[in-house]
Amino acid sequence: MVAVKNHDNGSKNPLAQFPVKISVEAVLNSVLVADPLRILDCSPITDGAAAVILCPAEMAGKFKTPGVRIAGTGQATDTIALSSRKDLCWLESTRVAAKKALAMAGRKVEDMHFFEVHDCFTIAEIMVMEALGLVPKGAGGKAVAEGLTRLDGKFPVNPSGGLKAKGHPVGATGVAQAVEAVKQLRGEAGPRQVKGARRGLTQNMGGTGGSSVVHVFEAM
Predicted confidence (pLDDT) per residue in 21-47, tens digit: 999 999 999 999 999 999 999 999 999
Q: Rounded CA gap, 141 and 99, in Å?
A: 22
Q: Report DSSP state, residue 42.
A: B
- Identify the pLDDT of residue 80: 93
Instruction: Give per-residue pLDDT as tens, 121-167.
Output: 999 999 999 999 999 999 999 999 999 999 999 999 999 999 999 99
Residue 67 has pLDDT above 90, yes or no: no
pLDDT score of 71: 98
Residue 60 to residues 57, 136, 184, Cα–Cα distance (Å): 5, 38, 18
SS3 216: strand
Examine the pLDDT at 20 and tell me if it is beyond 90: yes
CB 67 within 8 A of CB 220: yes
How far is 77 from 36, CA to CA, in rounded Å? Answer: 27
Res 57 pLDDT > 90: no
Radius of gyration of the chain (CA): 16
How much is the average pLDDT of 85-95?
Answer: 96
Going by DSSP bridges, is the β-strand pair 32-34/211-219 parallel, antiparallel, or unpaired? unpaired
Check whether 58 has a pLDDT greater than 90.
no
Confidence (pLDDT) at 66: 86
pLDDT score recorded for residue 64: 86
All structural domains of the chain: 2-219 (3.40.47.10)
Confidence of residue 60 (pLDDT cuts 50, 70, 90): confident
155 - beta bridge partners? none
* Span 207-216, average pLDDT: 96
Q: Largest alpha-carbon pair distance within the chain?
A: 53
Which 8-state DSSP code applies to residue 170? G
Angle between helices 122-132 and 2-10 (to 10 degrees): 100
Q: What is the DSSP string of 58-127?
A: HHHTTSSSPPEEEEEEEEEE--S-GGGSS-TT--HHHHHHHHHHHHHHT--GGG-SEEEE--SBHHHHHH
65 has a pLDDT exceeding 90: no
What's residue 172's pLDDT?
95
**Could you give the angle at the alpha carbon of 189 between the alpha carbons of 13 and 107, nearest 5°?**
120
Q: What pLDDT, on a 0 to 100 scale, did the predictor assign at position 61?
A: 82
pLDDT band at 56 (very low <50, low <70, confident <90, very high): very high
Please state, rounded to an integer, the average pLDDT across all residues of the chain. Answer: 96
Would you say the C-alpha torsion 29, 34, 39, 42 has a positive or negative sign? positive
Q: What's the pLDDT tens digit per position in 94-129?
A: 999 999 999 999 999 999 999 999 999 999 999 999
Share of the chain above pLDDT 90, in %: 94
Rounded to a whole number of angstroms, the distance between the first and last alpha carbons of the chain is: 34
